[in-house]
Amino acid sequence: MFLCFRVRHNPSQPSRHDTFSNRADRGWSSRGKIETLPLGKIAYEYLGIPYAEPPVGDLRFAAPVPSKPWSDVRDATSYGKACPRPSMPVPVSGFEPEPESEDCLFLNVFVPSTIKPDDKLAVMVWIHGGGFSYGSSTEYPAGILAAFNDVIVVSMNYRLGILGFFNIPDTEIKGNYGMLDQILALQWVQTNIASFGGDPNRVTLFGQSAGAIAVSLQLLSPLSQGLFQRVIIESGPASYPLYSGEVKDTKHLEMFAELVNCSLGPQLISCVRGKAVEDILSAQSQIIYPMYVAPQDLAGPVVDGEFLPDLPNKLLKDGNFHQDVDIMIGTTSNEGALFATLPPDQIQNGVQRQVFESKIKDSVVFVRGRSALAEEAVLHEYTDHDDPENILTIRRSMLQCLGDKAFVAPVIQEAKAYSKEGRKPYVYLFDYCPVHSPYPEWVGVSHGMELGLVFGAPFKTLSWFLTMLTPKYSEAEKEFSLYIMEVWTNFAKNGSPNPLESASSLVTWPQYTEDEQAYLVLDLKPRVEYRYKADKVVFWNDVFPKLIQEGQKNAAETENETLKDEL
C-alpha cells in the first residue's frame, strides 16, 4: 500500500513548514508537520494513520481487517479518536477526556528531522498501558524521544475492555482482539516503515503496565513471530496475576449478558454486536471495579489456543517464546502503591493490622487461588515480628507484598526463563522519585514513575497523563531523562543499552544470568546490584505455589471426609 500524507501546519505550535521527501524508490513524498523542540531538535509527526478497518458491525468481536488503501493525499495532522473506554472508577486529577469511537484503530509515526533518503533508523513501537481498559496513544507524544535520539517511534490504539477481549468459552468468539490489533499494527510497520526511513529489521516493541504485559505476551505468541527483534518490558510481566488466564467459569459473561439484555446461547454474539457501544461500556463499568481488578475473562488477554497457546508460566518454563529477540525488562521499587485502593483515612497515616490482613486476603495475591495455609504464610512473611503493630511498618509491608507478588517475582521469573534459554536479558530497577512528585512520600517510586523520563517530559509538557505523574522537573532530572532515553534507544539500535563507546557510559550494565542475577538500579547515579529481593522471589515463585496447592488439597480432603461422615 502506498501512503501519501499532507500534514498541515498548526499555527499554535512554534513550527515551520518544510518538505520531507520519503524514500524516492517508493514513488511518493509527504509534506509534514514539523514540531520544533528544545535543544534545537525537530520532529516530523504523522498522526492518525488508519491501519485497520473500523471494527464495527460483523467486525466487532472479530480479528481486525487491514485498512483499505486510499488514493488521495491523507491529512495526518491530528490523532485519531481513542478506543471506547468505560468511565473512570475514581476521579483522576487533571484527566482530559478525548473523543472516542469504535473507529479507533489508528497509529502515529514520529520521525527525526535529520532523516536522510537512504537512512534505515531503528524503530520503536509503543503499546500504551491502562489495565487493558483505559489509555490511548495520544497520552504519549513521542516527538522528543524520536528527535533527541535519532529513532523512529510508532504508537498505536488498540481495542480495550470488553470490546477488545470479549470471549465466549468453547465458541469461535475467543477474545484477544486487542492483541490481534497490535499484531496488525506491527505488520503495517513491516510493510510501510521503510518509506519513513525506518528499518523493518530493527523493530523494538516496548510498553508499560498493561502495555508491557502485551509486549510480554507478544513475545510468547506464535502469531507475532518475526515482527520485532527486541522488547522493552516496563512493569508488565507475562505472568502478571490478573491477566492471561484460562476461562474456567462464565459468571462474568452471565453478568454481562444480563446487563445488556442478551440471552446466553448461540444468539449471544449477534445480540451483543447489535448493542450500542454506550450500553456495552455501561455494563463493563458495573462489572469491573476498581480499575485494576478487572475480570480477565472479559476484559483482558486469555489463553485462546491461537494467540496464546497456553498459560504464560508454562510457555516460559518450556522455552516457548521467540528465541531470536533481545530483551530488556524491569520494575519500579514500589509497584505495590498501584494497589493501595484504600480510603485515605486507612492509609495516609499508616495501616492498621486488621486492614492489612483484609487487604492482602482480598487482593491480587490470591487471584489465582487461595488457602488458609497460604494466607497465613503471606502474613507471616510480611510482618515485622519485632514491631508487629507499627502502622507505618505495616503500610510499607503491605505495599511491598502487593508489588512483590504482582511485579517483582514475575519479572525475575521471566528474566530467569529467558536467561536459561540463552537470551540473557538486561534487568533494571527504577528507583528514582522526582523532586516534585505530586504523591505522598509513602508512595515512593510507584508504578509508571519512569514514563515521563522515557518520553522526555522534563523538556516539554506532553500530555495530561504524563503531567499527572510529575508536573515539574529539575535540571538534574532533565539530564536523567537524557540518560534514560539514551539507554532505551541504545537498546533499540544495538540490542544493548550500553553505548558503543563504553567510556561515555555512567556505568556498564551487565546482562542477567542465573548465576549472578545482575540488574541496574536506575537512579541519578546508576549502579549495578545483584539478586534483587532474592528471598521474596523464592517465596512467591517457589514456596507460595506449593502452599496454595497443599492448602487446596487439604481442603478437598477435609470436604471429602465431611461428606463421608454425613453419609
3-state secondary structure of 242: coil
| Separation CA 23–CA 194 (nearest Å) | 8
Give the H/E segment covering residue 45. Answer: strand 42-50
Distance between CA 113 and CA 121 in Å, rounded?
12
The answer to whether 124 and 145 have CB atoms below 8 angstroms apart is: yes
Q: Is 522 helix (H, G, I), strand (E, B) or coil?
A: strand
Active site residue 234: no
- Per the CB < 8 A criterion, the answer to whether 311 and 305 are in contact is no
CB-CB contact of 106 with 157 (8 Å) = yes
**Do residues 108 and 45 make contact, with C-beta atoms less than 8 angstroms apart?**
yes
Q: How far apart are alpha carbons 369 and 246 in whole angstroms?
A: 13
| 431, 333 Cβ separation under 8 angstroms | yes
Which region holds residue 182: left if phi is over 0, alpha if psi is between -120 and 50, else beta? alpha
> What's the burial of 300, exposed, middle or buried (CB within 10 Å: 0-12/13-18/19+)?
buried
Separation between Cα atoms, residue 196 and residue 30, nearest integer Å: 10
Q: Report how far apart, in Å, the C-alpha atoms of 565 and of each of 308, 556, 560, 562 are.
A: 44, 14, 9, 5
Alpha carbons within 13 A on the beta-carbon side of 124: 33
> 393 is written with which cell numbers?
511498618
335 is catalytic: yes
Catalytic choice (45, 335, 375, 477): 335
Which DSSP letter does residue 61 get? T
Active site residue: 15, 155, 209, 244, which one?
Answer: 209
- Burial string for 112-150 (b: 16+ CB within 10 Å, else e) reads bbebeeebbbbbbbbbbbbbbbbbbbbbbbbbbbbbbbb
Q: How far, in Å, CA of 378 to CA of 372, rounded?
A: 10
Pairing assessment for the beta strands 106-112 and 42-50 based on DSSP bridges? antiparallel
With contact defined as beta carbons under 8 Å apart, do 35 and 42 qualify?
Answer: yes
Strand partners, 6: 31, 75
Report how far apart, in Å, the C-alpha atoms of 500 and of each of 347, 493, 494, 503 are.
47, 10, 8, 9
Q: Are 123 and 203 in contact (CB under 8 A)?
A: yes
> Quick check: is 474 catalytic?
no
Grid coordinates of 481: 531523562
CB 379: neighbour CB atoms within 10 A?
A: 17
Catalytic option among 195, 447, 450, 477: 447
Q: How far apart are CA 167 and CA 289, in angstroms?
A: 19
* Amino acid letter for position 142: A
**Catalytic residue numbers, as ranges:** 209, 335, 447
